[in-house]
């Protein structure tokens, strides 16, 4: 669970997260670590309406993390060659930017 240590992810702007993976593929560890980090109580409570779907396949397909935001934008990670920490950092950055945009538009 060291992947999420020190990374604050707030799922407030996320509508759903879909994780697709073949557990027998050689580079699926980062995808599993990402899924484990996202499913922690601390992160899940930041948006209880965020749906997390896991599609486990036995077709040797590349692991993919597909994140849909409330505004319709998507963030897709082909997670075979990146670490869970990199995915969490990018997700955190995008979520923070979207939250800041929402706060700025609310002030106007």
HEC string of the chain equals CHHHCCCCCCHHHEEEEEEEECCCCCCCHHHHHHHHHHCCHHHHCCCCCCEEEEEECCCCCCCEEEEEECCCCEEEEECCCCCHHHHHHHHHHHHHHHHHHHHHHHHC
- Report how far residue 88's alpha carbon sits from residue 39's, in angstroms, rounded to the nearest whole number: 12
Encode 65-80: b = buried (16+ Cβ within 10 Å), e = exposed. bbbbbeeeeebebebb
What is the pLDDT confidence band of residue 106, given thresholds at 50, 70 and 90? Answer: confident
Q: How many other C-beta atoms can be found within 10 angstroms of the C-beta atom of residue 106?
A: 7
Whether residue 1 is predicted with pLDDT greater than 50 in this model: the reply is no
Task: Share the mean pLDDT of the chain.
Answer: 91
In the chain, the percentage of residues whose pLDDT exceeds 70 is 94
Q: Which residue has the tokens 């759903």?
A: 16
Q: In the predicted model, is pLDDT for residue 103 greater than 90?
A: no
35-77 pLDDT tens trace? 999 999 999 999 999 999 999 999 999 999 999 999 999 999 9
């Amino acid at each position: 669970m060291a992947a999420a240590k020190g990374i604050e992810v707030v799922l407030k702007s996320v509508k759903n997260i879909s994780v697709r993976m073949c557990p027998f593929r050689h580079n699926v560890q980062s995808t599993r670590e990402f899924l484990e980090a996202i499913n922690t109580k601390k992160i899940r409570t930041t948006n209880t309406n965020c749906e997390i779907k896991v599609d486990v396949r036995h077709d040797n397909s590349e692991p993919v993390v597909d994140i849909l935001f409330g505004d319709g934008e998507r963030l897709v990670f082909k997670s075979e060659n990146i670490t869970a920490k990199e995915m969490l950092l990018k997700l955190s950055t995008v979520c923070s930017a979207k939250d800041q945009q929402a706060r700025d538009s609310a002030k106007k």
